[in-house]
Amino acid sequence: MVEVYSYPNSESAAYALGEYIADAQDKALAKNKVFRIAISGGSLVGALQEGLILNKKVAPRVKWGQWEIYFVDERLLPLSYEDSNYGLFKRKLVNLLDPKVTRPYIAAINTTLLSPSGGQDDSIAKDYEKKLPDHMDLIILGCGEDGHICSLFPGHELLEENVKMVANLEDSPKLPPRRITFTFPYLKKATQIAFYARGSGKKPILKKVFSGTATELPSVKVNQFKKIPVSWFVDEAAIEDANVKTSTYK
């Protein structure tokens, strides 16, 4: 089942996403000692800063020291580079945490395998797959303007990957070209999945996503997962042309 939670602006959508994440954390920690979450890069990282740090109602609930954080995709670059999802997350969120806060475990790619030729990119994917738990308690996805999720792009052969949990690609239509990405077999193991999409730039794609006909889009394939609750956190600017019933979280 798919729920779409819509808010007047991106900040209130991010704040609601923060509350949803804290609820997922509490559900996981009621059963286990760790909360295993996989996040996307891009606009989601700013939303996590808003929803988990700036949101003073949620910030005290976040038990960072019990989090294991993974990336649903990563660009094959040094972690300090502007385009690294890990680097973006460190700069915009982890570095803002109170020094007294116990840091979460964050799974980064093995940068010793990086090379200009990309000759070991498949080993980076294999190495990252070995770091993954059997499944995530929560996966948070973005939705690109072309409908991509992770680094799974419309029409790309990786959409058909049914063995590897993490795959590499060197022809991402969105730069940089070399990446690793979760594949659908791993996404389908998640306990729950949420999307975050904001801004008028996402209006055309969300209209397609919720049109009921764009079944080829990676984000639509996630909406069609059986038995996994999928929630969208959007602002009105992104969802206003979509033919879908919306509500607010909780």
Whether the bond between 176 and the residue before it is cis, its omega within 30 degrees of 0, is: yes
Q: Which is nearer to ligand LXAUTJHC, 63 or 173 (CB)?
A: 173
* Minimum distance from residue 99 beta carbon to ligand LXAUTJHC (Å): 28
Chain-centre distance of CA 21, in angstroms? Answer: 12
Give the Cβ contact number of residue 147 at 10 Å.
22
Q: Which is nearer to ligand LXAUTJHC, 64 or 70 (CB)?
A: 70
Q: Which is nearer to ligand LXAUTJHC, 82 or 98 (CB)?
A: 82
Structure tokens of 32? 């286990």
Q: Are the C-beta atoms of residues 198 and 47 closer than 8 Å to each other?
A: yes
Give the binding site for ligand LXAUTJHC (CB under 6 A): 40-44, 73, 85, 142, 144, 151, 174
Q: Which is nearer to ligand LXAUTJHC, 26 or 125 (CB)?
A: 125
* Minimum distance from residue 213 beta carbon to ligand LXAUTJHC (Å): 22
Query: How far is it, in rounded angstroms, from Cα 40 to Cα 72?
Result: 6
- Among 118, 119, 42, CA closest to 73: 42
* Minimum distance from residue 197 beta carbon to ligand LXAUTJHC (Å): 7
- Among 65, 67, 69, CA closest to 101: 65
* Minimum distance from residue 144 beta carbon to ligand LXAUTJHC (Å): 4
